[in-house]
Amino acid sequence: MTIKHRYRELTWPEVNDTVLRAPTVLIPVGAIEQHGPHLPLDVDNVLTEHICEEVARRSEGDVIVMPAIHYGYNDHNMDYPGTISIRMQHFIDYCVDVGASMAHQGFRHMLYVNAHGSNAPLCDLIARRLTVETESLVGAVNHWELGWDFIAAELEGGPYAADHACEWETSEYLHVNPDLVQMDKVVDEISAERGGPRWLYPDLASSKWVHFMNYWSRVNESGVSGTPSFATAEKGGRMIEGTIGRLLDVSREFRAMPVTARVDHRVKPPA
């Protein structure tokens, strides 16, 4: 019997059966936003959904994938047509409600798999809230960080190859959904802040001392930051396959983590 790997395809009795199997639940989190003149608005959703779907499909029942959360916090990109932004607290509350519902069903291990930079600190807060507010263990991961060594090994476009609508994202999208990539419209552009003060990160590979996000239109004309002209589907396939394998390993290790009892170390105050 084939084990269903998509939560949306289960009947309610099958949900109970799935809870007893105790899989790690993957919740893809993306965005609808501009990705330059050559990529469609759905890049973040397509990439994180593909990664999570493949992990769940290959997991032999150890992982199940939820329908994606398609919209994120995106105020910095609102000067470009097409971008949708959800208010920060609405986004947090919505994502917490999804996770709390899964915890209520009995799922004890969940990972929010994020594909959009400005969602990252919010997904961290969401995971922390759910871990302390429910009986489940909940984590958050950015898929580019999980697969960074595989991504970095393929980049050829210089120190800013991995930023936004760049060599990395364009390569992975070429692998997953090539018909929607317009390589004849590719623009290589490095945002004005890149190469500035060392406390500003030059690309996604670099550690940053100060967390900062400017309005994108202040520092960028095309919406691209990076060198997508170096992108190929072949590189994208190797990048994304490495990320899928890594997330499958992480999901299985996370599934094995016990939910242990809390210990109250406080003394009782005198009456």
- CA–CA distance, 267 with 271 (Å, rounded to integer): 12
Q: How far apart are CA 250 and CA 155, in angstroms?
A: 24
Q: What is the pLDDT of residue 219?
A: 87
The helix/strand/coil state of 162 is coil
CATH of the domain at 181: 3.40.50.10310
Q: Which pLDDT does position 237 carry in this prediction?
A: 98
Residue 265 lies in a domain: no
What separation in angstroms does the CA of 170 have from each of 28, 188, 211, 260? Answer: 19, 12, 25, 42
What are φ and ψ of residue 24, in 5° steps? -75, 135
pLDDT for 200: 64
Evaluate whether residue 271 is within a structural domain. Answer: no
In a domain, 1, yes or no: no
139 located within any domain: yes
Residue 84: the pLDDT is 98
Domain assignment of residue 15, yes or no: yes
Residue 138 bridge partners (DSSP) = 110
What crossing angle do the helices spanning 233-255 and 43-58 adopt, rounded to 10°? Answer: 50
The total number of structural domains in the chain stands at 1
Flag whether 269 is in a domain. no
Q: Are 47 and 169 in contact (CB under 8 A)?
A: yes
Give the range of the structural domain holding residue 233, as residue numbers without chain letter: 7-255
Structure confidence by residue, pLDDT tens digits, 73-132: 999 999 999 999 999 999 999 999 999 999 999 999 999 999 999 999 999 999 999 999
Distance CA(25)–CA(152), nearest Å, equals 28
Looking at the domain assignment, is residue 158 inside a domain?
Answer: yes
Q: Which two tokens stand for residue 219?
A: 């520092």
Q: What is the pLDDT of residue 181?
A: 98
What pLDDT is stored for residue 197 in this prediction? 66
β-strands 109-114, 63-65 pairing: unpaired
- Whole-model pTM above 0.85? yes
Tokens for 54? 């493949």
| Residue 260 in domain | no
Per-residue pLDDT of the chain in tens (271 residues, 90 and over written 9): 689 999 999 999 999 999 999 999 999 999 999 999 999 999 999 999 999 999 999 999 999 999 999 999 999 999 999 999 999 999 999 999 999 999 999 999 999 999 999 999 999 999 999 999 999 999 999 999 998 999 999 999 877 778 899 999 999 999 999 999 999 999 999 876 666 666 665 556 555 667 778 898 998 899 999 999 999 999 999 999 999 999 999 999 999 999 999 999 999 999 8
Are the C-beta atoms of residues 43 and 165 closer than 8 Å to each other? yes
Q: What is the pLDDT of residue 216?
A: 87
